[in-house]
Structure 1
């Protein structure tokens, strides 16, 4: 038998004019390009609305020559890719204005407002997004009326919102949950409702039914504002806030640096052994930007920035091979 490759973090070198230190921003990948948008350097203060582009081969940042109707500067924003188009939704500025749904065509470098916040989905921040080949899914988040447990989809072909059944009493309204689509099912993991949540819920898109999911194994502690991505039939989660700070969003809280994976068939968690050398492990973090990327021919989790245990925003980029 060949030896199993050790799981470890790899620091990704960065050149050029990048986004710098920030948290509560969004990251997504189209081909070999990483796109970064939004964020805050100081709590609840937005930074800019530049769309930063990172080339995974040259490891160099640039700012996209974007045209069209761009989202205004915001934090607590999410984005996902379908084909060569990026979909950006939500986020707010320091006056609590919320963005609607925008698309960005990576071939023409053009922004388009698809759904104004006044006409489409109610505005929010610290929601979560996931996608399949045709739909963008939005769950939860913090609206002007508080945290919600609603699930919506945006059909990018028909250009319309679809409202699914809400999560129900068992699935409380929450901010900062994980959201992952695996084979026709939308998984909601953890989040924050004033306390860190440790529950998991699954929505079957075909039957329209929610299920509260019980898992076993190395079950992660309750958490929010963490990366959650799909790897085959597994869900991989990393980091996040396990305990809130007494100053809430103005502080860092207790942050995790661990990686876990959940088999969505057996419902068994595994805590992944981190083989990164001491001194080279990335700082525990939450509120970071993340996406699935392919680096040097290997698929894995790409993470940028976030908030650290010292409450200082990070500007590093790290990669965890699946």
Structure 2
């Protein structure tokens, strides 16, 4: 049975940090979290600094970097394999969709442009990214011609992109879906496809095919732009937008604040009791930066910032652990 309880810890931030933002990205490498991109005002990228948060000291610094520094962007994703952070896509100040893949070597603080232009996935923003110990996966998002439903992987050892078979019409193109690797499969959970969705699909690389699954249990309501992490066979989702704003990205929709967990073996959802409504709970929000990783030896979900029901960007940091 999936863990039915969880706890949130609000993490203090010592000194000046990057501050409030949404549509940004963060990933954990060792005892540090690397944050990049995002917006404070809708659609306007804040900066292209790489902000580094020490998970032990709770202090922010700005990395002194070299190499091919990415321009500012929103709707960007990042993940890490080993000591290397990978940043893909997003949308620039002119609202242009991007498709460059950058790496950042945390051991030497150097950016490298790995692909772009005609190579690799098409341009997109508000897509989803996850990684295993070798590959970085990209799914969906908002492309130049609408919402996408394609799955790609960058093989960090071979240095090449892999385009997987099309998911077909059964998996509608979408932005802000959950994406996670569990049981050697790549899971696509929910997302926005013109409406908030509540379907679950996976791609099996061993079989080279897609499948849609029917889930049971206490299923979350349809939603998108939530925080996602996989721990073992369990996929956790937190928050997200359950009713979009009439103003689109310029406004704040209705946000959820619950945590749910999907057992990818039993295909059963459970609501996690995590103290919703208490002082140390992050509450309803979406468009957050999030990452799976360890803090103090515990494996869990780091959540930084996001957008609130009042349309104010947030700058706080929380860490969720199943108990």
Distance 2:76 2:129 in 1: 9
**Do the aligned residues in 2 keep the contact of 1:17 with 1:63 (CA within 8 Å)?**
no
Report the equivalent of 1:249: 249
Q: 1:282 to 1:206 in 2, by over 3 A?
A: same
Report the equivalent of 1:10: 9
Distance 1:11 1:22 in 2: 17
| Partner SS state of residue 10, structure 1 | strand
Report the equivalent of 1:83: 82
Mapping 1:233-312, distance limit 5 Å:
233-275=233-275, 278-312=278-312
**Do the aligned residues in 1 keep the contact of 2:99 with 2:121 (CA within 8 Å)?**
no
Consecutive unaligned residues of structure 1, counting only runs of 5 or more, are: none
Distance 1:95 1:193 in 2: 24
Q: 1:197 to 1:276 in 2, by over 3 A?
A: closer
**Do the aligned residues in 2 keep the contact of 1:180 with 1:230 (CA within 8 Å)?**
yes
Report the equivalent of 1:40: 39
- 2:25 is equivalent to residue 26 of structure 1: yes
**Do the aligned residues in 2 keep the contact of 1:104 with 1:111 (CA within 8 Å)?**
yes
**Do the aligned residues in 1 keep the contact of 2:135 with 2:153 (CA within 8 Å)?**
yes
| Partner SS state of residue 149, structure 1 | strand
Mapping 1:77-116, distance limit 5 Å:
77-97=76-96, 98-116=98-116
**Do the aligned residues in 2 keep the contact of 1:225 with 1:241 (CA within 8 Å)?**
yes
- Choose between structure 1 and 2 for higher RCO, CA contacts under 8 A separated by at least 6 residues: 2
Q: 1:81 to 1:217 in 2, by over 3 A?
A: same
- Residue 299 of structure 1, CA deviation: 1.2
- Residue 283 of structure 1, CA deviation: 2.8
Q: How many residues align?
A: 319
- Residue 282 of structure 1, CA deviation: 1.6
Distance 2:24 2:311 in 1: 16
**Offset from partner CA, 1:13-57 (integer Å, 9 cap, x none):** 001332100000001000000000000101111110000000011
**Do the aligned residues in 2 keep the contact of 1:228 with 1:238 (CA within 8 Å)?**
yes
Q: Which has the larger displacement, 35-44 or 119-128? A: 119-128
- Residue 301 of structure 1, CA deviation: 0.8
**Do the aligned residues in 2 keep the contact of 1:16 with 1:62 (CA within 8 Å)?**
no
| Partner SS state of residue 249, structure 1 | helix
TM-score normalised by L of structure 1? 0.96
Report the equivalent of 1:212: 212
Distance 1:156 1:119 in 2: 15
Consecutive unaligned residues of structure 2, counting only runs of 5 or more, are: none
Report the equivalent of 1:130: 130
| Partner SS state of residue 176, structure 1 | coil
Distance 1:277 1:145 in 2: 40
4+ long deviations beyond 4 Å? none
Distance 1:108 1:201 in 2: 38
Report the equivalent of 2:321: 321
**Do the aligned residues in 2 keep the contact of 1:99 with 1:117 (CA within 8 Å)?**
yes
TM-score normalised by L of structure 2? 0.96
- Residue 298 of structure 1, CA deviation: 1.3
**Do the aligned residues in 1 keep the contact of 2:5 with 2:272 (CA within 8 Å)?**
no
**Do the aligned residues in 1 keep the contact of 2:4 with 2:273 (CA within 8 Å)?**
no
- Residue 277 of structure 1, CA deviation: 6.7
Q: RMSD in angstroms over aligned alpha carbons?
A: 1.4
